[in-house]
């Protein structure tokens, strides 16, 4: 066993399916290596407000199949202040927490970066349905969210086809189009609008609808990432220009919920065990990632400076087959 005696684990930011399996794997692997584990509830707010619970083998039983996070989550404005960070540090000292494992996104990792400067060792695990963590090809929760969106749109397609309508569907992804572009390909959307790519409504939507109408198509799915927005305006414009009955649907937070898929459960286990083993070996202030289906890790400062771009080949595929 290394110098770490007690690990704190928390989930921060938006919840993602697979957070519970990650918590479970952190706890069980830490105990395997002879460490104690404290659960921090409600994200960084829990550190500020001393909302700490003991975790053991049995307290994380029966959570591997559950969505959400048993530790709850939040976004903390107070933690962004020096005073809030000092309170969090003092809570760690009070409970003997030598290191924190934080499951979340970029904002959560910036929290890791801040408290590490006060002397608390940290490891970040990427958990977000947006798959927008630059240092990782894959983030926990992404696969489940994709399958949820696909299932919902498949159901919506049935009524869209029955009424010969056009459906404009908004999926999550405020700054990143990974969820939208992959869901668009999987559901056969005629057009997918993403934040990374400008669009022309006449060329990219109206023109494509009219072209496919000539080929006998009578129902249409238009997919819109949350960051593009204006789904109701887009739906109204389509109906006005084409005469096709058009409805807008916002899938919303349903995409965050549900039992995590096998991929998310296995990835959560891989990343969580890697996090604990790094700490046990005296390596800290890192962010875990996946590259070429292998677990990797980066210095937290380096990880937060990295940029991630949407694969243009996926955009090309969507355009080629959505006709």
The strand ranges marked E within 27-165 are 36-40, 52-55, 99-104, 121-126
Count the neighbouring beta carbons within 10 Å of the beta carbon of residue 232: 15
What's residue 315's pLDDT? 87
* 3-state SS string for 222-261: EEEECCCCCHHHHHHHHHHHHCCCEEEEECHHHHHCCCCC
> Encoding tokens for residue 122?
């940290």
Count the neighbouring beta carbons within 10 Å of the beta carbon of residue 1: 8
What's residue 3's pLDDT? 86
Dihedral, CA of residue 315, residue 318, residue 319 and residue 322, to nearest 10: -170
Tell me whether residue 130 is one of the annotated catalytic residues.
yes
Q: CA-CA distance, 180 to 110, in Å (whole number)?
A: 26
Determine which one of 130, 132, 204, 264 is catalytic. 130
Half-sphere exposure of 284 (CA within 13 A, CB side): 21
- How do strand 52-55 and strand 36-40 relate by DSSP bridges? antiparallel
Phi, psi of 68 (to 5 degrees): 70, -155
Contact 102, 109 (CB under 8 A): yes
What's residue 309's pLDDT? 87
Closest CA to 189 of 175, 174, 169: 169
Tens digits of pLDDT across the chain (323 residues): 458 999 999 999 999 999 999 999 999 999 999 999 999 999 999 999 999 999 999 999 999 999 999 999 988 889 999 999 999 999 999 999 999 999 999 999 999 999 999 999 999 999 999 999 999 999 999 999 999 999 999 999 999 999 999 999 999 988 889 999 999 999 999 999 999 888 999 999 999 999 999 999 999 999 999 989 899 999 999 999 999 999 999 999 999 999 999 999 999 999 999 999 999 999 999 999 999 999 999 999 999 999 988 888 888 898 888 87
Q: CA-CA distance, 306 to 321, in Å (whole number)?
A: 32
Contact 35, 79 (CB under 8 A): no
Q: What SS3 class is residue 295?
A: strand
Residues facing 294 on adjacent strands: 291
Residues facing 288 on adjacent strands: 297
What's residue 321's pLDDT? 86
């Amino acid at each position: 066993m290394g110098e770490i005696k007690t690990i704190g684990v928390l989930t921060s930011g938006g919840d993602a399916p697979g957070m519970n399996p990650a918590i479970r794997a952190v706890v069980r692997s830490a105990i395997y290596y002879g460490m104690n584990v404290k659960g921090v509830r409600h994200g960084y707010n829990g550190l500020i407000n001393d909302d700490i619970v003991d975790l053991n083998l049995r307290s994380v039983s029966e959570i591997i199949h559950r969505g959400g996070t048993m530790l709850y989550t939040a976004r903390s404005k107070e933690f962004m202040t020096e005073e809030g960070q000092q309170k969090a540090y003092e809570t760690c000292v009070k409970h003997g927490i030598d290191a924190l494992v934080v499951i979340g996104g970029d904002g959560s990792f910036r929290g890791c970066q801040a408290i590490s400067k006060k002397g608390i060792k940290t490891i970040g695990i990427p958990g977000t349905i947006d798959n927008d963590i630059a240092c990782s090809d894959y983030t926990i929760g992404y696969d489940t969210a994709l399958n949820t969106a696909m299932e919902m749109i498949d159901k919506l397609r049935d009524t869209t086809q029955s009424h010969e309508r056009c459906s404009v569907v908004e999926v999550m992804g405020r700054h990143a189009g990974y969820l939208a572009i992959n869901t668009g390909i999987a559901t056969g959307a005629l057009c997918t609008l993403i934040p990374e790519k400008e669009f022309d409504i006449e060329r990219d939507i109206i023109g494509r609808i009219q072209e496919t109408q000539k080929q006998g198509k009578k129902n249409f799915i238009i997919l819109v990432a949350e960051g593009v927005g204006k789904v109701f305006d887009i739906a109204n414009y389509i109906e006005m220009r084409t005469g096709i009955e058009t409805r807008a649907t916002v899938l919303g937070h349903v995409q965050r919920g549900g039992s995590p898929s096998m991929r998310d459960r296995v990835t959560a286990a891989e990343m969580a065990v890697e996090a604990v083993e790094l700490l046990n070996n005296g390596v800290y202030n890192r962010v875990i990632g996946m590259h070429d289906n292998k677990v990797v890790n980066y210095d937290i400062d380096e990880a937060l400076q990295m940029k991630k771009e949407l694969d243009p080949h996926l955009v090309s595929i969507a355009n080629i087959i959505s006709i």
